[in-house]
Amino acid sequence: TFTVFLGMGYDWSFALTAVFLEGIIFILLSFFNVREAIFTAIPYSLKKAVSVGIGLFIALIGFTSSGLIVANEATYLSMGNLLTKESFIAIVALFTMAILTAKQVRGALLYGIIISTVIALITGVTHFPGIASLFSLPPSIKDVAFHLEWNNILTFDMFSVMFTFLFVDIFDTVGTLTGVATKADLIDKDGNLPGVSKALLSDAIGTVCGALLGTSTITTFVESASGVADGGRTGLTSLSTAFFFFISLFLFPLFSIVPPQATA
């Protein structure tokens, strides 16, 4: 978004084309076990460092979205206004999740989400849509699906963007798989993940499909560690998640709520 769309001035379809191409390369690298070799060659300490970095980045997004952290020209980041409704809800959710997780309560993150949602509804930070509009057909993807820019495939800009995405995705996936697999006790004594080639191939296919359908990269997400922490260890966890995501398509208005102040 910031580099390709805002920085280089290209359309979103240009970026998705780069994602599609790096996904194809991923599939080829996965078939020939090149990605598995890269995964094995990276020191275990570096793999863990990548997963920690991703976690800190997600935490930063949450803190900035809630207003706990704001931009500052002098120090880059500074403390935000803790007296706003959004900040209060974020603090309550954070402490709820932290305390329940420390007490090893299964579903700690889910409880935090539920409690913060209820508080947000009570304080007016968010609201439910009307009952009549709650259930609807999923929105069409015809305006975003299969809109690839084939005419720019051989350009230098496309190559540079594709290579950057490729590089970032490789290490992002390596770190994420390490973090999630460690949480699931699947890492062997040498710091490697048995059967990692299957996971990497699945990741590559998801990347290609996501680009074709017009969405951001479908890849391995470190948030999966929350499900693993609550007992998810097999593919049934992923299938269950996929099923509920499919159901959520028909509850689209519920998951696309716009805060009242944003609509004024």
CA distance 213 to 254: 22
Q: Flag whether pLDDT at 95 surpasses 50.
A: yes
Note the pLDDT of residue 92.
92
0.85 exceeded by pTM: no
> Three-class SS of residue 70?
strand
H-helix segments, the chain: 12-31, 34-41, 44-66, 85-102, 108-123, 156-183, 196-213, 224-229, 235-249, 260-263
Q: What is the mean pLDDT of residues 18-42?
A: 85
pLDDT by residue (tens digit) across 172-203?
888 788 878 887 788 887 777 887 888 888 88
Residue type at position 62:
G
Which of 96-100, 181-185, 252-256 is predicted with the least confidence, judged by mean pLDDT? Answer: 252-256
CA distance 162 to 211: 12
**Token pair of 228, please?**
């693993």
Note the pLDDT of residue 115.
93
When the pLDDT of each residue in the chain is averaged and rounded to a whole number, the result is 83
Residue type at position 133:
S
